[in-house]
C-alpha cells in the first residue's frame, strides 16, 4: 500500500497539541434568539456550545446547504440541493433496537422535544480535504442514550439511513450499497461532542443536509455523520459501515480526522476551508483532541484509521 | 481570403474551429469571473479543465477513424489544431493545480507526484504531451520524417490512457464518467489496430504483387 509509515504519535503529544489549539466556551443564548420559532419544540433555552478557534468563521449558509456529499441524491456536490426536495420527511420515525431497556419507534416530533435544542458550532472536515464551520442545532446524543438505558452488552451503536429509491434517485444506482450504514463505539456515541442533529443555522435541517435527523461527530471525517436516520441499533460488536465496506483500505471504521494518516490517494495533512484560498493545516481530531483523545488511549491510530 | 477557393474555405473553417475550441475555456472563464464556480472553486476549475483536456485528446484521436469511416479526408487538416488545444487544456489544468491549488508548495507537489498514483500518472501524461506539442509543426515533421514522427506521436495513446486512469483513480465511487472516457479510448484504439491489420494484409498483398506500398498519410500538418 502507499500509506507512508511513520512512527506512531504518542497520545500525550496529541493531547498537548489540542490543549494548545482548543478553547472551549459556553455562551448562553436567549431563548428564541437563534430562531427556536423555526423549530417545533425548541426548548426553553438554547445553549450555544462553541468550540471555535479565533479563525473559525461560519461557512455561508449557501455553501453549507449547496455543497454536499449525500450520494442518495447523486454523486455531484450540487445534486443533493437539486434533488433532495422530493424527500418526504414527515411522517418520520426512528426505530431504536437492540441492547437497550427501552427499544421502540420514536416519532420525530417526540424526539425533537426530548431535550432542549442547543447550538453547537463545529468544524466539519470532509475526508476529501475540504472543511466548513457549521452552527448545528441538536442535543448531545448521550442524553438520549442515557434515557434509553443500554444493557451491559451494548458496546456499539449502528445507524441506518432511510432507503426510499422513489425519493432518493442515487439509490437507483449502485455506486454504494444501500441503505447507508454507520456506527460508533458506545463511548464515542456518548461523548458530549456527539450531536443528534435536527437543524443548522437556527432552522430545521434542509433535506440535502440530512433531514430530519442526522449525526454530527466533529472529530471524525464527515462521512461518519450519517444522515436521514431511520434506525439506531445498540449492538455488542463493531457494525459494518458503508464506506468501509466499499473500500476498506481507504475508509476505516474510526475515521478520526488525522493529519498524520493520509488517505491512500490524497494527503490529509492540509485542508481547504470553504471560502479560503490557502490551504490550512489539518488538526489532530479536527482540533477536538481535548475532548476525545482519551477515547483512543493505547490505540494505534495508524491501524485503526 | 475568398470563400470561392478550397484554400479560402479551409482558412475560414480553421478560424471557426479555433473559436469553437476556445469556447469551453471562455465559458469556464465566464463562470469563474461571475462567481458561479462551486464552493470549492479551485477544485471545480481543476475538474472542468481536466474534463475538457480528456475530451480534446479523445477528439484528436477520433480524427483518423472518422476519416477512414466516412472517407472525409479533409478532416485530417484539423487534427493538429485539436491536438494543440488538447495540450492547451491539459496545461491550464496543470497550472490550476500548480498555481491555484498548491500555490507552488513544492514540497507537497513532489509528495503528490511521488505518492499519489493518480497524480503520478497524470503528471507523466502531461510531460509526455510536451514533445508532441513541440514537434507538431511542419518543420518537425520534415526533420523527423513521417514514419518516425508517427511513431513518436503514438505517445498520445499512452497519455490518453494515463489521463483516463488519472480520472478513474481520483473518483471516490462514481466511476461512470471515467469509464465512459476509457471505453471511447479503447474503441478508438481498436479501430486503429483493426485498420492496421487489414492495412498490413493489403500491403503484403500489394507488396507480393511488387507494387510500391503507400505509407499511411496520417500526418496532420501535411497539407
Given a cut of 60, whether residue A89 has pLDDT beyond it is yes
- pLDDT tens, residue by residue, B146-190: 899 999 999 999 999 999 999 999 998 999 999 999 999 999 999
Residues 6+ apart with CB under 8 A from A131: A123, A124, A125, A271, A272, A273, A274, A282
Is B223 a member of any domain? no
Of A104, A101, A178, nearest to A147 by C-alpha is A101
Is A1 a member of any domain? no
Which chain A residues have a beta carbon less than 8 Å from that of B108? 267, 269-270
Given a contact cutoff of 8 angstroms between Cβ atoms, the answer to whether A22 and A290 are in contact is yes
- Whether A53 and chain B come into contact, CB under 8 Å, resolves to no
Is A303 a member of any domain? no
CA distance A190 to chain B (A): 30
Cα A128 to Cα A131: distance, rounded to the nearest angstrom: 9
Paired with A29 in beta bridges are A46
- Predicted confidence at residue B60, as pLDDT, reads 96
Whether B116 and A176 lie within 8 Å, measured CB to CB:
no
Whether A266 and B172 lie within 8 Å, measured CB to CB:
no
Is B66 a member of any domain? yes
Given a contact cutoff of 8 angstroms between Cβ atoms, the answer to whether B88 and B53 are in contact is no
Cα B51 to Cα B91: distance, rounded to the nearest angstrom: 12
- Whether B169 and chain A come into contact, CB under 8 Å, resolves to yes
Mean pLDDT of A23-45: 36
Whether B42 and A128 lie within 8 Å, measured CB to CB:
no
How big is the CA angle at A84 (ends A244 and A57), to the nearest 5 degrees?
A: 75
Radius of gyration (Cα) for chain B, nearest Å? 20
**How many structural domains does chain A have?**
1
Q: How far is CA A268 from the centre of its chain?
A: 18
Is B199 a member of any domain? yes
Residues 6+ apart with CB under 8 A from A292: A188, A191, A193, A219, A256, A285
CATH number at residue A292: 3.90.420.10
Mean pLDDT of A70-87: 97
Residue B150, domain extent:
6-208
What pLDDT band is residue B210 in, cutting at 50, 70 and 90? low
Is A271 a member of any domain? yes
Which residue in chain A has the smallest CA separation from B111? A267
Which residue in chain B has the smallest CA separation from A174? B174
- Predicted confidence at residue A29, as pLDDT, reads 32
Whether B173 and A246 lie within 8 Å, measured CB to CB:
yes
Cα B84 to Cα A293: distance, rounded to the nearest angstrom: 53
Preferred mutation among A1, A5, A71, A75 to probe B, highest tally of B CBs within 10 A: A75
Given a cut of 60, whether residue B113 has pLDDT beyond it is yes
Which chain A residues have a beta carbon less than 8 Å from that of B51? none
- Whether A223 and chain B come into contact, CB under 8 Å, resolves to no
Is A181 a member of any domain? yes
Is A6 a member of any domain? no
- Whether A248 and chain B come into contact, CB under 8 Å, resolves to no
What pLDDT band is residue B200 in, cutting at 50, 70 and 90? confident
- Whether B40 and chain A come into contact, CB under 8 Å, resolves to yes
The pTM assigned to this predicted structure is 0.83
Is B19 a member of any domain? yes
Query: Phi and psi for B7 in degrees, rounded to 5?
Result: -60, -45
**Continuous segment of H or E residues that includes residue A106:** strand A104-107
- Predicted confidence at residue B197, as pLDDT, reads 81
Is B47 a member of any domain? yes
Is A302 a member of any domain? no
CA distance B112 to chain A (A): 8
Cα A262 to Cα A2: distance, rounded to the nearest angstrom: 9
- Whether B108 and chain A come into contact, CB under 8 Å, resolves to yes
- Predicted confidence at residue A148, as pLDDT, reads 97
- Reading across the β-sheet that carries A93-98, which strands appear in turn? A104-107, A93-98, A229-235, A156-161, A181-185
Burial, A154: exposed, middle or buried (Cβ in 10 Å; 0-12, 13-18, 19+)? buried
Is B135 a member of any domain? yes
- Whether B38 and chain A come into contact, CB under 8 Å, resolves to yes
Is A305 a member of any domain? no
Which of B39, B112, B174 is the closest to A274 by Cβ?
Answer: B39
Whether B174 and A2 lie within 8 Å, measured CB to CB:
no
Is A275 a member of any domain? yes
What pLDDT band is residue B191 in, cutting at 50, 70 and 90? very high
**How many structural domains does chain B have?**
1
Cα B191 to Cα A220: distance, rounded to the nearest angstrom: 49
Given a contact cutoff of 8 angstroms between Cβ atoms, the answer to whether A299 and A256 are in contact is no
Per DSSP, A100 falls in state B
Of A245, A211, A242, nearest to A228 by C-alpha is A211
Which chain A residues have a beta carbon less than 8 Å from that of B100? 277
Residue A44, domain extent:
11-296
Cα B221 to Cα B223: distance, rounded to the nearest angstrom: 6
CA distance A213 to chain B (A): 24
- pLDDT tens, residue by residue, A252-295: 999 999 999 999 889 999 999 999 999 999 999 999 999 999 99
CA distance A105 to chain B (A): 33
Of A139, A119, A140, A135, nearest to A56 by C-alpha is A135
**Continuous segment of H or E residues that includes residue A230:** strand A229-235
Is B167 a member of any domain? yes
Amino acid at each position: 500500500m502507499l500509506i507512508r509509515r511513520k512512527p506512531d504519535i504518542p497520545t500525550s503529544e496529541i493531547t498537548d497539541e489540542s490543549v494548545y489549539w482548543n478553547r472551549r466556551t459556553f455562551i448562553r443564548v436567549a431563548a428564541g434568539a437563534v430562531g427556536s420559532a423555526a423549530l417545533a419544540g425548541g426548548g426553553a433555552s438554547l445553549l450555544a456550545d462553541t468550540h471555535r478557534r479565533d479563525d473559525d468563521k461560519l461557512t455561508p449558509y449557501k455553501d453549507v446547504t449547496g455543497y454536499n456529499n449525500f450520494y442518495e441524491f447523486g454523486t455531484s456536490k450540487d445534486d443533493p440541493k437539486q434533488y433532495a426536495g422530493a424527500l418526504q420527511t414527515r411522517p418520520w420515525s426512528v426505530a431504536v433496537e437492540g441492547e437497550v431497556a427501552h427499544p421502540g419507534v420514536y416519532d420525530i416530533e417526540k424526539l425533537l422535544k426530548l431535550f432542549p435544542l442547543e447550538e453547537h458550532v463545529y468544524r466539519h472536515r470532509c475526508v476529501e480535504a475540504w472543511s466548513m464551520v457549521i452552527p448545528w442545532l441538536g442535543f448531545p446524543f448521550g442524553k438520549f442514550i442515557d434515557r434509553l438505558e443500554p444493557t451491559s452488552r451494548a458496546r456499539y451503536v449502528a445507524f441506518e439511513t432511510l432507503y426510499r429509491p422513489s425519493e432518493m434517485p442515487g439509490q437507483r444506482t449502485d455506486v454504494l450499497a444501500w441503505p447507508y450504514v454507520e456506527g460508533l463505539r458506545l463511548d464515542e456515541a456518548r461523548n458530549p461532542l456527539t450531536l443528534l442533529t435536527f437543524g443548522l443555522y437556527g432552522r430545521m435541517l434542509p433535506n440535502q443536509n440530512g433531514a430530519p435527523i442526522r449525526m454530527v461527530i466533529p472529530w471524525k471525517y464527515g462521512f461518519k455523520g450519517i444522515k436521514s436516520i431511520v434506525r439506531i441499533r445498540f449492538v455488542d460488536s463493531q457494525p459494518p459501515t458503508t464506506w468501509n465496506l466499499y473500500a476498506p483500505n481507504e475508509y476505516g471504521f474510526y475515521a478520526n480526522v488525522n493529519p498524520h494518516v493520509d488517505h491512500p490517494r490524497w494527503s490529509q495533512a492540509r485542508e481547504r476551508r470553504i471560502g479560503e484560498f490557502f490551504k490550512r493545516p489539518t488538526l489532530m481530531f479536527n482540533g477536538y483532541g481535548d475532548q476525545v483523545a482519551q477515547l483512543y488511549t493505547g490505540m494505534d491510530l495508524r491501524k485503526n484509521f | 481570403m475568398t470563400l470561392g477557393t478550397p484554400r479560402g474555405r479551409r482558412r475560414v473553417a480553421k478560424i471557426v474551429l479555433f473559436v469553437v475550441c476556445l469556447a469551453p475555456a471562455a465559458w469556464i472563464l465566464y463562470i469563474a469571473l461571475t462567481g458561479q464556480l462551486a464552493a470549492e472553486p479551485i477544485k471545480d476549475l481543476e475538474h472542468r479543465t481536466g474534463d475538457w483536456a480528456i475530451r480534446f485528446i479523445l477528439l484528436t484521436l477520433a480524427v483518423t477513424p472518422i476519416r477512414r469511416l466516412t472517407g472525409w479526408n479533409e478532416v485530417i487538416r484539423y487534427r493538429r489544431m485539436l491536438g494543440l488545444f488538447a495540450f492547451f487544456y491539459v496545461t491550464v489544468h496543470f497550472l490550476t493545480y500548480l498555481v491555484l491549488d498548491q500555490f507552488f508548495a513544492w514540497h507537497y507537489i513532489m509528495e503528490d507526484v511521488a505518492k499519489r498514483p493518480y497524480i503520478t500518472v497524470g503528471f507523466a501524461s502531461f510531460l509526455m504531451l510536451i514533445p508532441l506539442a513541440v514537434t507538431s509543426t511542419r518543420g518537425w515533421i520534415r526533420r523527423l520524417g513521417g514514419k518516425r514522427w508517427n511513431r513518436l506521436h503514438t505517445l498520445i495513446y499512452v497519455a490518453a490512457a494515463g489521463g483516463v486512469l488519472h480520472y478513474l483513480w481520483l473518483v471516490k465511487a462514481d466511476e461512470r464518467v471515467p469509464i465512459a472516457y476509457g471505453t471511447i479510448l479503447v474503441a478508438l484504439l481498436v479501430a486503429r489496430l483493426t485498420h492496421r491489420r487489414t492495412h498490413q494484409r493489403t500491403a503484403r498483398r500489394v507488396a507480393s504483387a511488387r507494387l510500391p506500398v503507400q505509407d499511411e498519410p496520417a500526418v496532420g500538418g501535411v497539407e
